């Protein structure tokens, strides 16, 4: 999961906290709902069917990032910053 998030995921922390992972295969995203969130249709590229899994509840985002953090490479620093902000140990936005 960490590799998939590292390559295709998006982490946004500001007023709203969310993680988004998109794919053309809804089934591939549906198992992510074990962490919370939901899979919904999104705007497809060139009209192709496209879905996004969105995780927005603060504690769900913290739990998800804590679980995958040891395995992250590309998004490790951003995940650390997000976790610090979500836990209230820093006061600035990413």
What's the pTM?
A: 0.84
pLDDT at 26 over 90: yes
In order of 58, 68, 93, the CA distances from 16 in angstroms are 9, 21, 11
Domains in the chain, please, with CATH?
A: 2-86 (3.10.28.10)
pLDDT at 47 over 80: no
- Average pLDDT (32-44) is 90
What is the per-residue pLDDT for 30? Answer: 93
- Average pLDDT (65-91) is 89
- Position 93 confidence tier, pLDDT thresholds 50, 70, 90: very low
């Amino acid at each position: 999961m960490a590799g998939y998030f590292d390559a295709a995921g998006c982490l946004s922390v500001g007023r709203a906290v969310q993680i988004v992972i998109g794919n053309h295969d809804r089934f591939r995203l549906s198992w992510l709902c074990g962490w919370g969130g939901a899979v919904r249709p999104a705007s497809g590229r060139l009209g192709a069917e496209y879905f996004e899994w969105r995780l927005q509840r603060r504690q769900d985002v913290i739990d998800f990032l804590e679980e995958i953090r040891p395995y992250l490479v590309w998004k490790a620093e951003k995940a650390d910053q997000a976790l610090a902000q979500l836990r209230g140990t820093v006061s600035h936005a990413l």
